[in-house]
């Protein structure tokens, strides 16, 4: 089992393994709170939310270990693709094609979309 597993069809949401409780996974939404991210762990809910109210968003101190792990895993998985797109795109055409392809991939990997297409019959 991977330490970070992204939710199918939702590239900014993940389940992250707990470091202190075997078998426990925490839900992380990287897009929430203006890309600061939120987590359902006790540290984030009890401590980090207070820091956000005091210091504002986008500070490392406002992100729990699970959010940081999900951000790192996201960058490891999608960073090379973004670098390729940005390094090779000079006139915007290739970027538009990649965005269309990415949207199609997300739709095809969405559980709801697969069911509608008859691919996940229960």
Kindly state whether residue 82 falls inside one of the protein's structural domains.
Answer: no
Both tokens assigned to 103? 């949207």
The answer to whether 68 and 39 have CB atoms below 8 angstroms apart is no
Q: Which residues form the domain of 108? A: 89-122
**pLDDT digits over 48-103, tens only?**
888 888 877 666 778 999 999 999 999 888 888 777 766 665 555 666 777 777 77
Overall number of domains in the chain = 2
The alpha carbon torsion through 38, 39, 41, 42 (nearest 10 deg) reads 10
The whole-number pLDDT of residue 18 equals 93
Checking if the pLDDT of 37 tops 80, the result is yes
pTM of the entire predicted model: 0.69
CA distance to 4, 63, 86, per residue, from 11 (Å):
12, 18, 19
Kindly state whether residue 83 falls inside one of the protein's structural domains.
Answer: no
Residues 96 and 57 in one domain: no
Kindly state whether residue 84 falls inside one of the protein's structural domains.
Answer: no
Residues 31 and 51 in one domain: yes
DSSP 61: G
């Amino acid at each position: 089992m991977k330490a970070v597993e992204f939710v199918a069809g939702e590239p900014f949401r993940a389940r992250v393994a707990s470091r202190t409780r075997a078998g426990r996974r925490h839900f992380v939404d990287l897009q929430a709170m203006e890309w600061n991210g939120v987590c359902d762990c006790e540290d984030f809910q009890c401590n980090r939310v207070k820091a956000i109210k005091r210091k504002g968003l986008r500070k490392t101190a406002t992100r729990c270990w699970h959010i940081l792990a999900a951000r790192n895993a996201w960058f490891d998985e999608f960073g090379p693709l973004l670098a390729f797109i940005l390094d090779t795109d000079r006139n915007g055409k290739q970027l538009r094609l990649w965005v269309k392809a990415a949207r199609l991939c997300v739709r095809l990997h969405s559980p709801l979309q697969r069911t509608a297409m008859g691919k996940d019959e229960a």
